[in-house]
Each structure stands twice: as structure tokens, then as C-alpha cells.
Amino acid sequence: MARSALMNVMTQAAMKAGRSLTRDFGEVQNLQVSMKGPADFVSHADRKAEEIVFQELSRARPDWGFLMEERGAIEGRDPQHRWIVDPLDGTTNFLHGIPHFAISIGLERDGQIVAGVIFNPATDELYSAEKGGGAFLNDRRIRVAARTKLAECVVATGIPHLGHADHARYLFEARKMMGEAAGIRAFGSASLNLAYVAAGRIDGFWEHSLRPWDVAAGSMLVREAGGFVTHSDGSKFEFVEGDIACGNEIIHRALVGELKKAATAMRGTPKPKAEDADATEAAS
């Protein structure tokens, strides 16, 4: 596969940052035995990878802006272009020595994502897509899976954790999906979930409370692999918002349908009654 100059720039930045993360990943596994734990070290690894991506992309396109997980928004002289970067998606996996994490780089042009690269250095898998050019895994063309029944599908999601997202909503959604799909997986990296949908490894994906750098590159991959990407209610996907649902045309429609049913069921559940004021007083 002959890459465009733009894709070469993105690929080189991701792979250089990936080499840095690979070295640090070896160290973080050793730090598991320490009492303090490797959290501070991982934060340093994250920032170092982001600096590498920032320097590489700035050198190649000095006028373009950035939206980065650690640095936030950086205005560029060119208002049409902006890089959207997550230098370490799957931080908790990295922290625990689980080899499932990635560097994600998306390119926004005039408010639309037009290119994306996702690289998992632990498996040496590079996913790439450019608008109108298809999606690739290590230079091999990829497509979304062709299954048409949820009962035959494996669907990925992101499970809310301490202090993150709406736990009650997720439980309604998970309960609905458990009764419909062949399997549900939670891998701990939104960008790689999207890459796996693009590669046909999993059939669909939904998650809430995501940030632009979680989904910018991956949403482009899914679309270029022939998939459909919307918000969880089926509305037009805007990568700046916080939820996503995707799959091939049929599975995406079925997934959104089940999520809507879960939302309806949640709205119909009676809220717990407040404690009787007199009883509360008597107990105090």
C-alpha cells in the first residue's frame, strides 16, 4: 500500500511514540511489585509520548493546531486543520501491564475528521484510514464484519468505573444486550474497540462519556471500512460529543434499537421514594 504524504506523517509520529511507550511498558511491568505502584511513572510515559507526537506533527505541519488529552487545545495559524491526539488510550491497561493500549491520531479539517491512525505498539498493529481511501491494518485492507444477527455477534462496550459515566444507564443497556448478543467484551480502550470493529474482529461497539481524542481516529476507520457510526440514539455523529454506537449497517441499526429500548425501560422505572420526613426525624 502506497501511503500519502499525510498518512506517512501520522504513521511516523504514532510509531515513534509507540517505541517510547514500549520501553516504558517494560518498566511499568517491573514496577507492579513496588508498594507505591506505577501510577506516577505511567503519567510520565503518557506525557512523554504526547510530546513525541506533538514534536513530530509540528515539524511536518507547523501551522496546524492540536487538541490533545494532556495539553488541551492549541491554536494553529491554519484554522482549517487540527490534530486530535490521545498519546495513551488504555492507560489503566498500561498501568496493570495489560498489552492492550494505543496511540490515536485523528486529523480534523473544517470540522470533519478526514484521516486517522491508531497504533498498538504491544502487538505492532497499525490501523490507518484516510477519507475516501479505505481502511487498513498493517497495509492490508480491512472491512467491517458481515454478520446480520445480533445473536451471532460479539459487541464491545466500555464499562463505567469509579467516578465515571452513568452506572445505572449502563446496567440497563448491558442487561438488554446480554439477552440479544452472542457476547459482550470490554477491552479498556475505545480507540482499539473502534479499530476492531473496522477490522471485523468485533461486530459492534457502544460507549458513553467519551472525549474527542477517544473516537476521532477510530470513527474514520469504521466508516472507511464500510461501517456506520452515530450517537447511541442513532443521531448524526459529532465527534465532540460523548457517546457512540457503530457496526455494519444492519448490526448498527439493531444495536441502536436495543439501546433505545434500554433508555425507554430506564425512563419507566420508578424512582426510589424519599424517606418520610417524620420517620427520619424519629430515627434521628
> Which domains can be identified in the chain, with CATH numbers?
5-142 (3.30.540.10), 150-267 (3.40.190.80)
* 89 is annotated as contributing to ligand binding: yes
pLDDT digits (tens, 9 = 90+) for 173-201: 999 999 999 999 999 999 999 999 999 99
**250's torsion region: left (phi>0), alpha (psi -120 to 50) or beta?**
alpha
DSSP character at residue 133: S
* 78 is annotated as contributing to ligand binding: no
Q: Model-level pTM?
A: 0.90
* 249 is annotated as contributing to ligand binding: no
Query: What distance in Å separates the CA atoms of residue 14 and residue 58, rounded to the nearest whole number?
Result: 13
Cite the beta strand spans of 36-111 per DSSP E.
64-68, 72-74, 78-89, 102-109
For residue 31, the model assigns a pLDDT of: 64
* 88 is annotated as contributing to ligand binding: yes
* 233 is annotated as contributing to ligand binding: no
For residue 38, the model assigns a pLDDT of: 58
Query: What distance in Å separates the CA atoms of residue 29 and residue 188, rounded to the nearest whole number?
Result: 18
Amino acid letter, 209: S
pLDDT digits (tens, 9 = 90+) for 34-88: 444 556 667 888 999 999 999 999 999 999 999 998 899 999 999 999 999 999 9
DSSP character at residue 128: E
Burial class (CB in 10 A: 0-12, 13-18, 19+), 81: middle
